[in-house]
Amino acid sequence: MDLFVGLIFFLSLFKVGDDRIVVDTFDMIEVNHYHNEWGVQTWSQIILWDWYSSDSKFHCEKWILMKDAYKKTKEGEKRWETARRQIEQTFENLERRKQWMWASEYKGDYVDSKFIPRKNWTTGYYEIKYDDKNIRRIIRSKIYKETHTQFDPEVKDRKFHPTAKRRGLTLPQVKTIEDIIDNLRFDTIPGR
């Protein structure tokens, strides 16, 4: 019994499954920058597409909001406010001015993101590498494009390819200490 308790304690010192790498391959990776009705860049997202020959078009399989793509700085905010006020002065209609000011708040300068695809010259794929809940993820594709739109391509694609049909990212089989204990054969423990 002491050996069994010692084994459990020893195994609990190690994280199981942290060295896992999950690779997902898609037909196209898109970095989409959404601009509101005033032309102000509002947010950016990664859209992962697969080609469906039955429809002869790409369909969205997963999207990821790039929350880390914008960084607020004092200099950037000052520059933004100066430009924003100059544009505000061109509106004669007070209601249009209010709408512009509401829709053009400073959200930060687009800097970079861990989700920006990088070309892997060895494999020929564009790859996004990041850590996702104790696993290393690699999302890859041979095709990469960057777009600026005033609509959300992922939402538009829902009409043709519902979210329930999307494959998404591979769910890893992460082993926990409980899984290891459950798989131990009790008849091999000495003294039993």
Q: Kindly list the domain boundaries of the chain, sorted by start residue.
A: 24-69+112-173, 73-106
Tokens 């899984």 correspond to what residue? 179
Q: What pLDDT, on a 0 to 100 scale, did the predictor assign at position 17?
A: 47
CB 46 within 8 A of CB 115: yes
Residues of the chain with pLDDT under 50: 17-18, 192
Question: For the chain, how long is the longest CA-to-CA vector?
Answer: 90
Q: How many residues does the chain have?
A: 192
